[in-house]
A and B are shown apart, each in its own frame.
Chain A
Amino acid sequence: MYLQVGGEDEDGLITRCLSGDSSAFEPLVERYHRPLFRVAVRMLGSREEAQDVTQTVFLKAYQALATCDRQRRFFSWIYRILLNECLNTLRARRPTQVIEDTMPSRSPATDPVEAVETRQRVRKALLILPEAQRDVILLRHFAEMRYEQIAAALGVPEKTVKSRLFSARQRLCELLTAEKV
């Protein structure tokens, strides 16, 4: 039922944390900080902010561990906290304007200005997507998770992940090509 983390299932780790063993939280951090950071950095466009947000999210998750719904994956819970934290950061940063992008493009051939604008448009389009579609896009492309990992994280069948991803990409393409963002 629960994902195995370092030979121990997540539920067991959470139980140990709740019993006062904070070291039991470390395997969870090790397992999930990377995909969470990737999502954060690509949503926020800033490594520094992504780092802060990721730390904050793990701290919040730890302190609120008793409220974690054991029926769901730990990742899906903390991932939701992360998304909320990122969105809150974006809102606090500039409530009605485009998202800052301080990171250079990976494609040197592309006009840097154009590349930044493109990334901003993609991020804006992502915010328009329905939550379920945005989740799979972020986890697949931003967190670079495999289908089965996404399925496990979200607690849905792999087939559903693929189906959602198809729809999400299709919708994203519509938004981007129609210049709606």
Chain B
Amino acid sequence: MLERDDFELLQRQQDGELLPGESKRVEALLSTNADARSAAAALKALRETAVSEHGEPPADAVARIMAMVQSAPSPRRSWLAEARNTIARATGFMIGTSYSVTGHGSRVEESMSSRSKIVWGISTAAVLILVALYLGGIVPPAPDGADATIGAAKRYQAPQLTAKDVAVKESEAQAFMQSETFDRLLKDPNARKMLGNSQFREFLATAGLNRELASREFSTALQKIASDANLARIFGDQDLAPALARPDIASALALTDMQAALADDAVALAFSQSAVRGGFADGKARGLFANDNFLAALSKPDVVKALGSREFIDALFQGDRQASLNSAALDRAFHDKSLQLALEDAEVRAALADRDIQGAFTRDLLTALESSAFQGALKNQAVAGALMSVELQDAFADHALLVAMQAAAAKGAFSSAEMKAVLSNALFSTALADSDVALAVSSGLMRDAFASQNFTAAMQSPAMLAALTQTGFTAALQQPAFATALGRGEN
């Protein structure tokens, strides 16, 4: 092992900087120390490599270079270019290329030209939005003309933006672009993927969006998307990108409620769930975003609020239900206005957030969600408890029953104030919680009964509803024979 002093001595020798008397020290060192000889040989190899011949440029090198320069377009002052330069520096290390020379991977910077492709791939819109995000709003154009306008920069790339639309003070923009936040955003592979998505950029560039850039909430929402690895991954997903380009989704994102929802930690939390990430990442849920009804549902702030519920997300994405995400049932469920209305109800959302209810929906939540009756029942914890019954789940999963419940008469019955009173009646709920009652309800006969106009008409009868609220009647409901009789419409 070579001592530091000895190595410094050898370096001075290589540099021709030996002090008087040190030559003898070098000789002595080399004669007695094998490591010193190896080091000296290596330093010599370096020197010889470095000073190999022909190290001088041709005499006309400057003239040649200047001839090329003179024929090239003049460089222009460009706020946008400076922004891109910042991006280039920020992203530079991310785009390093492994250059293998001997089998050992060596991380080196990729060429400027290759980097440029990526940098230029991040459009003006991306820069604009990042700046806007940081600033949390758009500063009106300054009258003294000292400020660079995003609008002016945008005109260079995309004429749909004008100086009147948005403007950012250059000093603020530059400060942001030099900030750790900006650097972190651009180094984040997910954020970069999102920004690199042409359709996402189209979304950002939509004409109506410019006005929304002025919204602090919108900025906050998008900042959350951009800075959150999970959200960025989702919004950068190539299958989701087309959705973002949709005017209704863009408009939805511009809604205050939607922004609040996206900015809500609960949403971030929801999307941070492994089940959700898995759903999006492995492609199982990607089909959702090709589904117009699902997208339409997403444009409803309350659906987004529901998505902000970890439990609801779990219900949608966990276990076997992942397989049904692309099902016609989901299509119908999210297309169903009653579901959307139900999701607007805080109680429904609270019910959906209930872990017991989550546990109950091991069969087909989405099919059940189509049912307005089911939605009404969700508001009652006892009913929710009843839904733990496998039999009842079967009943709700039964398409025939749901069809029956969708029947106008049945809908009327279940949507009536009286029926709501029944559903919220503790005794009725208790009855439903009984497996025998649930069995009765799930029986084919009961389904037939629900499908029967006479039965549903009877259900609307105040007398029948009043009966349902009576302890004795509900107690009777627990009797299989009575339930069977009900199913036969023999009451």
Contacts and interface: CB of A to CB of B under 8 A. Distances in A.
Task: Answer yes or no: are A and B bound together in one complex.
Answer: yes
Interface of A: 17-18, 20, 22, 25-26, 29-30, 33-34, 37-38, 41-42, 45, 47, 50-51, 54-55, 58-60, 62-69, 80-81, 83-85, 87-88, 90-91, 95-99, 103-107, 110, 115, 118-119, 121-124, 127-128, 131, 137, 141-142, 144, 165-166, 169-170, 172-173, 176-177, 180-181
A18 B77 contact: yes
- Shortest 7 CB-CB distances between A and B: which pairs? A88-B111, A67-B85, A141-B50, A37-B57, A65-B75, A176-B42, A173-B42
A96 B101 contact: yes
A151 to B, nearest CB: 16
B88 to A, nearest CB: 7
Contacts of A22: 66, 69-70, 72, 74
Contacts of B97: 91
Interface of B: 7-8, 11, 35, 38-39, 41-43, 45-58, 61-62, 64-66, 68-70, 72-78, 81-82, 84-85, 88-89, 97, 99-102, 104, 106, 108-115
A97 B78 CA distance: 41
A25 B41 CA distance: 42
A169 B56 CA distance: 24
Nearest to B87: A67
A109 B104 CA distance: 32
Nearest to A87: B108
30 contacts: A17-B75, A30-B62, A33-B57, A33-B65, A34-B56, A37-B61, A51-B57, A51-B58, A54-B57, A63-B73, A66-B75, A66-B78, A66-B81, A67-B84, A84-B110, A84-B115, A85-B111, A88-B110, A91-B97, A95-B100, A96-B101, A99-B101, A106-B53, A107-B48, A119-B49, A121-B45, A122-B46, A122-B49, A141-B47, A177-B35
A25 B66 contact: yes
A177 B108 contact: no
A172 B46 contact: yes
B72 A62 contact: yes
B52 A106 contact: yes
Contacts of B115: 84
B11 A59 contact: no
Given A67-B84, A106-B53, A115-B48, A127 B66 contact: no
B7 A170 contact: yes
Given A41-B54, A177-B38, A137 B46 contact: yes
Given A26-B62, A98-B102, 20 more contacts: A25-B69, A38-B57, A41-B54, A41-B55, A45-B52, A58-B69, A66-B76, A66-B78, A66-B81, A96-B101, A103-B53, A104-B53, A105-B53, A123-B49, A127-B108, A131-B109, A165-B11, A173-B43, A176-B42, A180-B104
A166 B8 contact: yes
Q: Is the interface of B mostly helix, strand, loop or mixed?
A: helix
A62 B11 CA distance: 38
Contacts of A97: 101
A54 B48 contact: no
A142 B353 CA distance: 67
A50 B56 CA distance: 10
B77 A66 contact: yes
A105 B52 contact: yes
Contacts of B51: 106, 141, 144
Contact of A141 (B8, B46, B77, B85): B46
A91 B109 CA distance: 11
B446 to A, nearest CB: 72
B59 to A, nearest CB: 11
A116 to B, nearest CB: 10
Nearest to A81: B112
Contact of B65 (A29, A81, A172): A29
B65 A54 contact: yes
A105 B39 CA distance: 21
B85 A59 contact: no
Contact of A169 (B43, B57, B88, B102): B43
B101 A98 contact: yes
Contacts of B109: 80, 83-84, 87, 131
A177 B10 CA distance: 15
Contact of A63 (B38, B47, B75, B88): B75
Given A63-B75, A67-B85, A127-B106, A47 B111 contact: no
A22 B43 CA distance: 42
B85 to A, nearest CB: 3
Contacts of B54: 41, 47, 103
B111 to A, nearest CB: 3
A6 B218 CA distance: 51
Given A122-B46, A172-B42, A26 B68 contact: no
B472 to A, nearest CB: 84
A91 B112 contact: no
Contacts of A54: 57, 61, 65
A180 B75 CA distance: 45
A58 B39 contact: no
Contacts of A81: 112
Contacts of B106: 127-128
A144 B78 CA distance: 35
Contacts of A121: 45
